[in-house]
């Protein structure tokens, strides 16, 4: 698929956990031949290379804390200087709050913001149904169940329901997402660049809706 006008090149993708945001971001990145820039990957690269910022970020991540905004903003600014990002990008996981969004606006002009919207109930159902095997295979009790309940099809091991995938943990993360991200989405709505996508469809249909809406000529003029 192609974006008709070729003018929408700097895109940010939002969505709660379970929305498939990362999958969609990666797909759009391939379609448009633009880099997929996820903050998680930026942290990993800097930690691996043990850069000054990477060492600081590592301390927070090790302690299970969020990397402070000023560190993240600096890492993003550096990433934007890399050659591949000059022609455009698909950002995923940044900006995650209004302070980051304001700094980001000073760094670069955004063409479109995609919100992959799913209800909290849907997010909880998708994530809490996940079961993983130590061998790496993952299942979903409703959408992709193993042949024998609780056992891996591939290796026969007992499946695990990770602590992170339990309802109380998901609810807490959703609350943080709403609190931190909604003001950001409001800001982009006011700028006329927010595109809401129904995330409660198949991966292929979500992908299709994104392209239909990006191709809508009236969009960029709003
Ligand atoms: Zn297994």
What tens digit of pLDDT does each residue of 1-20 get? 445 555 789 999 999 999 99
Ligand 1 centroid – CA 184 distance (Å): 40
Q: What values do phi and psi take at 176, rounded to 5?
A: -65, -45
- Per residue in 51-81, pLDDT (tens digit) is 999 999 999 999 988 899 999 999 999 999 9
Bridge partner list, 36:
90
Whether residue 119 is predicted with pLDDT greater than 90 in this model: the reply is: yes
- Could you tell me the distance, in angstroms and rounded to a whole number, from the CA of residue 34 to the centre of ligand 1? 35
Q: Which CATH class is domain 10-34+87-221?
A: alpha beta
For the chain, give every domain's residue range.
Answer: 10-34+87-221
Helix axes 39-48, 69-81, angle to 10 degrees: 90
Return d(Cα 160, Cα 134) in angstroms, integer.
8
Residues catalogued as catalytic: 21, 96, 130, 162, 173
Cα(158) to ligand 1 centroid in Å equals 8
Query: Given this model, what pLDDT does residue 6 score?
Result: 59
Q: Is the pLDDT of residue 110 over 80?
A: yes
Q: Ligand 1 centroid to 153 CA: how many Å?
A: 7
pLDDT of residue 220: 43
pTM: 0.87
Find out whether the peptide bond into 95 is cis, omega within 30 degrees of 0.
yes
The predicted pLDDT at position 116 comes to 97
Task: Measure the CA–CA gap between 12 and 105, rounded to whole angstroms.
Answer: 12
pLDDT given for residue 216 in this prediction: 77
Residue 142 Cα, ligand 1 centroid: separation in angstroms? 18
Average pLDDT over residues 136-158: 95
Question: 138 C-alpha vs ligand 1 centroid, how far in Å?
Answer: 8
Q: Say how far residue 84 (Cα) sits from the centre of its chain.
A: 20
Which residues are found with C-beta within 5 Å of the ion, ligand 1?
133, 135, 137, 152, 154-155, 157
């Amino acid at each position: 698929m192609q974006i008709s006008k070729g003018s929408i090149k700097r895109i940010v993708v939002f969505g709660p956990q379970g929305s498939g945001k990362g999958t969609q971001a990666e797909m759009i990145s391939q379609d448009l031949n633009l880099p997929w820039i996820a903050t998680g990957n930026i942290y990993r690269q800097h930690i691996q290379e043990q850069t000054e910022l990477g060492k600081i970020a590592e301390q927070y991540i090790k302690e299970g804390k969020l990397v402070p905004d000023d560190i993240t903003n600096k890492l993003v600014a550096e990433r934007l200087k890399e050659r591949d990002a000059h022609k455009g990008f698909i950002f995923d996981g940044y900006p995650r709050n209004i302070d980051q969004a304001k700094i980001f606006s000073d760094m670069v002009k955004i063409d479109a913001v995609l919100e992959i919207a799913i209800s909290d109930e849907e997010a909880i159902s998708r994530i809490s149904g996940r079961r993983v095997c130590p061998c790496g295979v993952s299942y979903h009790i409703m959408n992709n169940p193993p042949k024998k309940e609780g056992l891996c099809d591939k290796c026969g091991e007992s499946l695990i329901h990770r602590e992170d995938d339990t309802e109380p943990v998901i609810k807490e993360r959703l609350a943080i997402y709403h609190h931190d991200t909604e003001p950001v989405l409001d800001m982009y709505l006011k700028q006329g660049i927010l595109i809401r996508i129904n995330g409660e469809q198949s991966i292929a249909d979500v992908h299709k809706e994104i392209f239909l809406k990006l191709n809508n000529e009236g969009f960029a003029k709003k």
